[in-house]
Amino acid sequence: MKNRSLFAQSLSTQIYCGLLIAIACLTLSSCHSADYYYYKFPQYTFANRPVPPSKLAQRVMIAYTVNGSSTSTAGATGSLAIVDAKRDIRSNIENTVPTFQIAGYNSGYPSMIFNFPAEVHGYVYSNTDGSLATIDYSKESSSGSSTKFPQAASIAIPPTFTHYYAAEERSGQLAVLDNTTGGTYGLNLPDVYKVAVNQGDTVVLAMVRNSNIVYRLVKLNANQFPTSAAAITATGATDCEPLNLPVYCIVPVNPAGAGGGSNAFDRPVGAYFSLDGTTAYVLNCGAECGGTTSSLTLLNQSTLNVNTIPNTTPDKSAFVSNVPIPGGATVALSDATTLYVAGQQQMPDGLFAGYLTTVNLAAAASSPSTAVTGKYSISDGTHTKLLFADDNTLWIGSQFCATGERQKLNENYNCLTRFDLGGKTAQVVPNVVPGDSTHTVGYPNTNQNLYYYGDLTGLCWVQNFHKVYTAYGGQVHVFNTADGSEIDNEFVTVQGTALDVAYMDAIADSDN
């Protein structure tokens, strides 16, 4: 009996100790920090993208300057901030890390972000020194300047990263950096101010200010011509470089005498390339840019291919059709069936009013006169941003909005428009009524203007979180895609002038 009692006591003790050990293990396993729970990534990340040092899964990068301007040459300080776009905060949850930055970046006026989330990379251009910095999203750091394009008015980078292109208006050159060979070329094209490249890096187009001519880049065969003069004579090019054994030429598109719509351009300002890789849509600004009629000129991309060397003078025409766009054309975006075109139309009083025009792509080539399916009033100003977002919306951004038709009529003249793709309705945001103290902006900028934020220079979509981030009037503002209301920006603003924004974790490059 005594031995059995001792055995029972021993068994009870073992069970009790086992319970204590189990409780201790559970307690220890649950003692994770808030950082563990809030910033835990799945075992298999989307597209096998690396977990970044910040541990943030929804990152918006904000390019801003502390004391610079677009004409600064020295002494300016700029930076690239990262904010948690899921929670709209600049710190971590525990506030042990007050801010996140792109390490190693140092340039005064980071005015343009080129966002390539699918490649886990980006590029940032700064006006102050002309640097094009490479940003590694996986390391959240800059590896330094890839190259320099002094005072570039426009830059184009294909997702292949095989070339960088820049329109250097001040020097009158179209700059080409060929990453496949390491060569750099400057093609003389006075007043060039726009450059565009397609996704495959096979078509490069350039536009000249106050001109009705579009140019295409041509790559010559190795040692095809001994001198640039010989190449110019044979191809009808405007310029070929270098002088000896030229590599690249710049050739007019649809030149006079080529036929097939050679006079279709009217102050071209850009190009949008079709998703199927067949067509280039040249945006003719028309009256808004000092011309006559705004339109879309459709061009065959195969004729424009950089490897298609002209064998006749003038070059063959790439013309397909021309679609009149009554509301103006400075920027475009497609969903594969409809092309959305934003611009301005001159009104009878001489002022300009902003419009969004919808174009049926199926009819654009075969029946251009019937291709336009709608025209909708949007923000005034020079339109440069178009972006699809959650809740079946399209967002349109512009600059210089305070001198148009809306301001004259005492209407909301801010620079951002939310367009409901289903209801075909437009809403200028923030929702203000000039002069009405009950309908003012939610979060005024430092100038304390209650009715006007200023130029919209940056726009990005935080996918599946029903919000867009903006660089709006020099500060960060965030809006709900569901209704256009503004989200409190207190914890995402920057100490300086916000110039551009980018969603670093977008699913595809086209999503920003």
Measured at the CA of 289, the angle between CA 283 and CA 292, to 5 degrees, comes to 80
pLDDT at position 257 is 62
The backbone torsions φ and ψ at residue 422, rounded to the nearest 5 degrees and listed phi first, read -80, -50
pTM above 0.85, yes or no: yes
- Nearest to residue 250, comparing CAs of 185, 302, 199? 185
Pairing of strands 331-334, 319-324: unpaired
Q: What is the pLDDT of residue 512?
A: 81
Count the neighbouring beta carbons within 10 Å of the beta carbon of residue 44.
Answer: 7
Helix (H) / strand (E) element for 263: namely: none
> What are the structure tokens assigned to 36, written together?
């563990």
User: Which residues are within 8 A (CB) of 330 and not within 5 positions of it... i.e. 6 or more apart?
Assistant: 269, 270, 283, 285, 288, 342, 343, 344, 382, 383, 384
**What distance in Å separates the CA atoms of residue 476 and residue 493, rounded to the nearest whole number?**
5
What was the pLDDT predicted at 20?
A: 54
Q: 353 has which bridge partners? A: 345
Q: What is the pLDDT along the chain (512 residues), one digit of tens a residue?
A: 444 454 445 556 656 655 555 555 544 444 555 555 578 888 888 888 999 999 999 999 999 999 877 766 667 799 999 999 999 999 999 999 999 999 999 899 999 999 999 999 999 999 989 999 999 999 999 998 889 999 899 999 999 999 999 999 999 999 999 999 999 999 999 999 999 999 999 999 999 999 999 999 999 999 999 999 999 999 999 999 999 999 999 999 987 666 666 668 999 999 999 999 999 999 999 999 999 999 999 999 999 999 999 988 888 899 999 999 999 999 999 999 999 999 999 999 999 999 999 999 999 999 999 999 999 999 999 999 999 999 999 999 999 999 999 999 999 999 999 999 999 999 999 999 999 999 999 999 999 999 999 999 999 999 999 999 999 999 999 999 999 999 999 999 999 999 999 999 999 998 88
Query: Cβ atoms within 10 A of the Cβ of 433, count?
Result: 13
